[in-house]
Chain A
Amino acid sequence: MKEQEQGIVQLRGREPGSVESAGTQSGPARVKRLGMLVDQHRCIGCHSCTIACKSENNVPPGYWRSWIKGIQKGTFPDVGNFYLRRLCNQCDVAPCVQVCPVQATVRREEDGVVVMYYGKCIGCGMCIGACPYDARFFNPFRHTADKCDFCVARIDQGLEPACVQACVSGALIFGDLDDPASEIARQLARTASTVIKPELGTRPKVFYIQAEHSLKGRIKYSDEFRQGILEYHNHIPSSDASYWKRGR
């Protein structure tokens, strides 16, 4: 009963620092599986996480490590705006790790985060093609592949990723999936959640609550998706995004 009450309290407002306390509880040697739970029911589409991510990780203009995908459904008065918070899904069976010819991107044993070793990366681009979530891109300044790594410098210091700290509505919950006492594990145990493209067997560690299905899918965002495919370049968000061309 007490456990449940605690869960409700944490659902309403996250306790800052819950991640570190979970880590120290079970000793430093334990292998963690860090994951994120995105509660789309709470997301208001404010893009705070996108901005926090960009400023924390110095992501160049025109590129995003994490972003919000938004759609509008229906016609007035029955209309709804829906958002999907996108980031690297930190797959347990990561296609990018599988294809990298130089082990420049690996799944870290100690916490399951898929990280980039920028000094090793030769920039062949195979991982960018292999990612089913389009979470990877070439960083034009670093000249290597780049992606969300749960702010690996921050989590190594025991902090939460920048997006989690920036979220205004408590929609992002970060923690150890293998620790039954962590907030994310308890929420996941109680709530129906999904992952993106589970059929690919990548076993992502980013979970979603109440995510709109047409956002999670790839191209079928409307019944007119055939036309949508042929006109996909029209959906590019910014006007100067001329990089959506063959080559670079």
Chain B
Amino acid sequence: MEATVLYNVPHEIPWQVYIPLYFYFTGLSAGSFILSTLSTVFGIKRFKPMALPAAIISFLLLLLAPVCLILDLYQPSRFWHTLVPEYFNRMSALSFGSWLLTIYPIANLIYIYYIFVHNDRVTRVLGMITVPLAIFVHAYTGFAFALVRARAWWHSALMPGFFLTSALLSGIALLVVVALLMDRFRQDKLDEELYTSLRLMMVGILVTDLFWNGSFWLTLFVSTADGYASVWYALHEKLYVYGEIGAGMLVPLAILILPWTKQNRTWLCVASLLIIGGVFLMRYSVVFIGYEIPLS
């Protein structure tokens, strides 16, 4: 039956680009932090030179992240309401998130101090405490979406995992760029094996991310009308198809596994920069494709 909408009221999208930026910064931060703990907690000596720079990057990004969140609020001066225990909503991922986002930078700073003074034993203990915090501070953003039943594009059990792997991916890619810069301007050169392991980690996580994406498409195509519409809309969105999937995942994956590009440092840098951009586009498309599916 042909039906024409005579009139209806859609409401505007309340969020600006700050929200995907916020997810992006916490993701980068969590990813860098986990890389930093590879040597201090998990004892992989190869990553030792990266421990301090990774932790410092992680902390600096954590300063940016809440700024983005507060900038997006309609009542920025009331941001402290999220930390009033009386207002705490135990059903809300955002309530937990605002506490995590307060505690995690402090823990991070203490951890950096102990790396700086080369106290390996304390660093290890602090790292063990802070790694779960880093994981949760990013996983909660995935849960904030996964717990919204209204929007099929968000309401998925895969979402927290997808957010975490993307966070790790962007963290590694950022550290590759930092490592390349360090190599260029420092006397003692970094181990070639470090690059190989970082590259292999990126390949592994890129494949995982592509797997997540494929799972999303398949399940949404046979889901409700909303789910079908979301994936239909997404596959018509140039930023998603060419930006996130193409330039952000497939091209870097090709660069990292093809035999004539994988050993080249310039190509490695290009691939890392593409991944850094692609992960931002992933946050962007999760937020805004979810919002653009009309509900009224």
Contacts and interface: CB of A to CB of B under 8 A. Distances in A.
Contacts of A15: none
Contacts of B93: 99
A165 to B, nearest CB: 21
A214 interface: yes
Nearest to B296: A134
A102 B3 contact: no
Given A95-B149, A126-B144, A230-B236, A134 B11 contact: yes
- Chain B interface size, under 10 / 10 to 19 / 20 to 34 / 35 or more: 35 or more
A200 B226 CA distance: 12
Interface of B: 1-17, 69, 72-75, 78-79, 81-82, 84, 87-89, 91-95, 97-98, 144, 147-151, 154, 225-226, 229, 232-233, 236, 288, 290-296
A70 B3 CA distance: 10
Given A101-B89, A101-B95, A129-B151, 18 more contacts: A69-B9, A70-B6, A86-B296, A99-B148, A101-B92, A121-B74, A123-B75, A128-B11, A129-B148, A137-B11, A137-B14, A218-B226, A221-B5, A222-B3, A229-B229, A230-B236, A232-B294, A246-B13
Secondary structure at the A interface, as helix, strand, loop or mixed, is loop
Interface in A120-163: 120-126, 128-138, 143-145
B250 to A, nearest CB: 24
Given A101-B98, A129-B150, A243-B12, A71 B6 contact: yes
B14 A138 contact: yes
B234 to A, nearest CB: 10
B79 A122 contact: yes
Contacts of B147: 98-99
A74 interface: yes
A237 B9 contact: yes
A67 B9 contact: yes
Contacts of A71: 3-6
Contact of A143 (B75, B94, B151, B288): B75
Given A225-B225, A248-B14, A237 B151 contact: no
Contacts of A70: 5-8
A223 B3 CA distance: 8
A137 B12 contact: yes
A235 interface: yes
A141 to B, nearest CB: 11
B171 to A, nearest CB: 26
The range of chain A's interface size is: 35 or more
Contact of B3 (A221, A226, A245, A247): A221
B150 A95 contact: yes
Contacts of A73: 1-4
A202 B149 CA distance: 10
B148 A95 contact: yes
A64 interface: yes
A131 B295 contact: yes
